[in-house]
């Protein structure tokens, strides 16, 4: 019988260790999620942004990758200035960023309001190698 108690005690110790490890992992995950949420809330509103904005601040605001913002700067989608040899010091004015946001919103609204139309073909005939719409 003493062997059974030892086995039970060992199992209980192992279970307690697993619970302790899981609690540590849960706490680490909670801290990571909390830090991520704080970073997202930092620039939650346009009013929170400074007058001169960095790519990092735009990326945090839009919740996109910072390199994507640099690509938008380079493509001229968002008016920007600065930029050293490595291009990492590019900035833009808050007003230019808001203007870009308005353009993007208006463009997406126009795309949504334009219904996709499709006209039915009058006749479909089989050609030598493909179908032909007449």
Structural domain that includes position 55: 46-112
How many other CB atoms are there within 10 angstroms of residue 95's CB atom? 10
Query: Strand 90-93 vs strand 131-133: parallel, antiparallel, or unpaired?
Result: unpaired
Tell me: the pLDDT tens digits for 79-93? 998 876 665 678 999
Predicted TM-score of the model (pTM): 0.51
Distance CA 64, CA 84 (A): 23
Question: What distances in angstroms separate CA 124 from CA 79, 127, 132, 134, one per listed residue?
Answer: 50, 9, 6, 6
- Answer yes or no: is 122 within a domain: no
Q: Does one domain contain both 35 and 77?
A: no
Q: Does one domain contain both 30 and 56?
A: no
Distance CA 50, CA 55 (A): 12
Tell me: the pLDDT tens digits for 26-68? 999 999 888 777 766 666 678 878 899 998 889 888 889 999 9
Token pair for 99? 């203007």
């Amino acid at each position: 019988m003493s062997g059974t108690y030892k086995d039970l005690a060992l199992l209980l110790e192992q279970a307690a260790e697993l619970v302790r490890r899981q609690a540590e992992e849960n706490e680490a995950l909670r801290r990571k999620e909390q830090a991520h949420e704080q970073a997202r809330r930092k620039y939650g509103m346009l009013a929170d942004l400074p007058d001169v904005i960095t790519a990092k601040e735009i990326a945090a605001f839009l919740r996109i990758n910072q390199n994507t913002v640099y690509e938008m700067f380079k493509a001229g989608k968002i008016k920007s200035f600065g930029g050293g040899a490595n291009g990492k010091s590019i900035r833009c004015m808050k007003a230019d960023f808001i203007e870009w946001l308005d353009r993007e919103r208006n463009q997406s609204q126009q795309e949504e309001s334009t219904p996709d139309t499709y006209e039915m073909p009058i006749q479909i005939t089989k050609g030598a190698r493909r179908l032909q719409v007449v």
